[in-house]
Amino acid sequence: MAMITYKGESYTCEKDETVLVCLLRHKVFVPNACQSGVCQSCMMKAVQGTPPKVAQTGLKDTLVAQHHFLACICKPEEDLEVSLYDSSKDWMLAEVLEKSLLNESVVRLRLKPQHKIDYMAGQFINIKGQDGTSIRSYSLASLPTEDYLELHIKRVPDGLVSNYLHDIVAVGDSLSIMGATGDCFYTNRDQAQPLLMIGVGTGLAPLYGVIRDALAKDHTGSIHVYHGSLATPGLYYIDELRNLANEHESLSYTPCVLHGDAPEGGQQGDIQSVVRTDFPDLKGYRVYICGDPQIVDSIKKQCFMSGASMADIYSDPFDFS
């Protein structure tokens, strides 16, 4: 019989009993609905131990990579320590190592966290504002192999956290951070699959991590990167992305601007129409879409209607309010 540990308490799981039934039998409430492995509302995470493969049936590969499983169809074969899917992690301090402007409204911060953070390139962390109560999410542009966390912060009018990070925080200061979470990252389940990456504004941050992660993991399929902004001054990392494209034949980079002239190799027009024209058929593609939620949702729908499978679309939209 396996032992299930949850929130510091251990429970004996009877033979043929699922993790969900075991916990409920011990009066431990876990959200659930269909109890047949379909609705995914009882998703949990294995902190210690490995759940049987069948308990991950139907989960997106990014969730499997983070050891998630469905409690209602998980008959454990070994002891497991489990937590809820959304369990909040601990806050920790991170020192600001570097601060520089990427363009007129985006600042780049590089942080050294107090403890090492396990993360996948493209996930996000939370940061507390000066008041200690406002919290905002920012995507990581760094790779786990780099010895700092990199964030791209856009200044938002009246934004409590973004203005604090832009105007007050200095190199050497400490920030309260928590992380990392999110489903927008690379997995090498199909290294030959063509990838389409669409970033709007600071939506480039997670993609900059995902692109370099895919290259580091020897992705062989083509990688098409589109970065959209209102006008050329809103773009950034143009040279970095051009260099990556020069170094890797499989990678192409297209900056898109709505107004004015696009930089060399770029296109003038709204990024959604540009992508629609360049990729009328997305069957078989894996698509990553990041940035302002309204644009992300609309591009997501367009990519799905153009043939990309729902399971192949990854996005992390944030509200920048």
Q: How far is the CB of 118 from other proteins (least distance, A)?
A: 24
Q: How far is the CB of 250 from other proteins (least distance, A)?
A: 26
Rank residues 37 and 255 by Cβ distance to other proteins and give the closer one.
Answer: 37
Rank residues 41 and 252 by Cβ distance to other proteins and give the closer one.
Answer: 41
Alpha helices in the chain (DSSP H): 19-25, 61-65, 160-163, 204-216, 238-247, 271-278, 293-305
Rank residues 21 and 151 by Cβ distance to other proteins and give the closer one.
Answer: 21
Give the number of C-alpha atoms closer than 13 A to the C-alpha of residue 100, restricted to the C-beta side.
7
Rank residues 164 and 318 by Cβ distance to other proteins and give the closer one.
Answer: 318
Q: Which residues bind other proteins (CB under 8 A)?
A: 33-40, 57-58, 297, 300-301, 304-305, 309-311, 313
Q: How far is the CB of 36 from other proteins (least distance, A)?
A: 4
Q: How far is the CB of 240 from other proteins (least distance, A)?
A: 31
Please report the DSSP string for 210-265 in residue order: HHHHHHHTT--S-EEEEEEESSGGG---HHHHHHHHHH-TTEEEEEEESSSPPPTT
Q: How far is the CB of 124 from other proteins (least distance, A)?
A: 17
SS3 35: coil
Q: How far is the CB of 302 from other proteins (least distance, A)?
A: 11
Burial annotation 235-272 (CB, 10 A radius, 16+ → b, else e): bbbbeebeebbeeeeebebbbbbeeeebeeebbeebbb
Rank residues 35 and 105 by Cβ distance to other proteins and give the closer one.
Answer: 35
Rank residues 40 and 163 by Cβ distance to other proteins and give the closer one.
Answer: 40
Q: How far apart are CA 113 and CA 115, in angstroms?
A: 5
Instruction: Sheet with 9-13: list strands edge to edge.
Output: 9-13, 2-6, 80-84, 43-48, 68-70
Assigned token pair, 176:
């309260």
Rank residues 38 and 216 by Cβ distance to other proteins and give the closer one.
Answer: 38
230 within 8 A of 219, measured Cβ to Cβ: no
Q: How far is the CB of 219 from other proteins (least distance, A)?
A: 23
